[in-house]
Amino acid sequence: MYRHFTATNVLISLCALTFLLGMIDPNSTKNVALYYWESPLFQPLQLLSHLFVHGGLMHLLFNMLGLWMFGRILEQVWGRTRFLLFYITCGVGAALIYQLASYYQFYSAIEPLLAVNIPFDDMLQRFSNGQYYTQFPSSEQAAIIFFSSVVGASGAIYGVLVGFAFLFPNHKLFFIFLPFPIPAKFFVPALLSFDIYASVTGFSIFGANIAHTAHVGGALVGLILVLSVLKRPSLQHDE
């Protein structure tokens, strides 16, 4: 039974339990979502806690399917401890890159307001109340960034996908919309291309309200880790 006590299974169980808890008491998961760092709702622990909260059943199922399919294989190669550190680092790294992208978007959106000397504290107060300046259309985007939150393990999952593609580049994967398998070395870059395109243009084939920059961030962190410290299998087993 001990062999089933894997990091992958524990992560999936925690996400499932958090989802059930949120269904029973929605307020119980209110403060664990990731908010923009200048928002009064932001807490540093959210950089980690948001990985265990999901916005709906399909969101949870898709992420956990990806974690189970690819994460358990990486865990077998690297060992439980190294895989868990890899997963958490990708997730937190994705959150930090998302925050950097949000910072750039936020200050680009409020640039017209700063140009006419609207006090910064007044902006933050208005955004905190879910309001914006109707005479400055870009301020609506600033208010959305300031007040909205991000949930889900997708950033960490994208890091896992990159790790899998490097370790098993020729392993063929099926994509739901295609009738033929694609090697991982082509599948993962193609998936990332969609996210990069969506993060730049705002147009997404996967639907609205998706943090594409977090996906790209998790993949980037995963790539750095794989190329620098995780190229070889673990020399000892910690299962």
Among all chains, which residue has been given the structure tokens 């760092």?
37
What pLDDT was estimated at residue 129?
A: 80
Reply yes or no on whether the pLDDT at 72 is more than 90.
Answer: yes
pLDDT the model gives residue 4: 61
Evaluate whether the domain defined by 2-228 bears CATH number 1.20.1540.10: yes
Token pair belonging to 219? 């993949």
Q: Are 138 and 49 in contact (CB under 8 A)?
A: no
- Three-point CA angle 49, 55, 58, nearest 5°: 120
Tell me if 90 sits within 8 A of 161, measured CB to CB.
no
Is the pLDDT at 117 greater than 80, yes or no? yes
Residue 117: phi, psi to the nearest 5?
A: 65, 35
Mean pLDDT of 65-81: 93
DSSP for residue 55? S
| Top-confidence residue, 143 or 26 | 143
Which pLDDT score is estimated for 40?
Answer: 86
Chain mean pLDDT for the chain: 86
- At residue 103 the predicted structure's pLDDT band, cuts being 50, 70 and 90, is very high
Give the pLDDT band of residue 27 (cuts 50, 70, 90): confident
- Residue 200 binned pLDDT confidence (cut-offs 50, 70, 90): confident
Furthest-apart CA atoms within the chain: distance in Å: 66
Per-residue pLDDT for 202 more than 90? Answer: no
For residue 236, pLDDT beyond 50: no
- The pLDDT score that the predictor gives to residue 56 is 87
Structure confidence by residue, pLDDT tens digits, 176-195: 666 778 888 888 888 888 88
Instruction: Give the separation between CA 66 and CA 129, rounded to whole angstroms.
Output: 37
**What is residue 5's predicted lDDT score, i.e. its pLDDT?**
80
User: What's the mean pLDDT in 50-58?
Assistant: 92
pLDDT of residue 126: 86
* pLDDT score at 134: 86
Give yes or no for a contact between 82 and 239, defined as CB atoms under 8 angstroms apart: no
SS3 150: strand
Residue the block writes with tokens 């895989």:
83
| 175 sits in which H/E element | none
pLDDT of 209 higher than 80: no
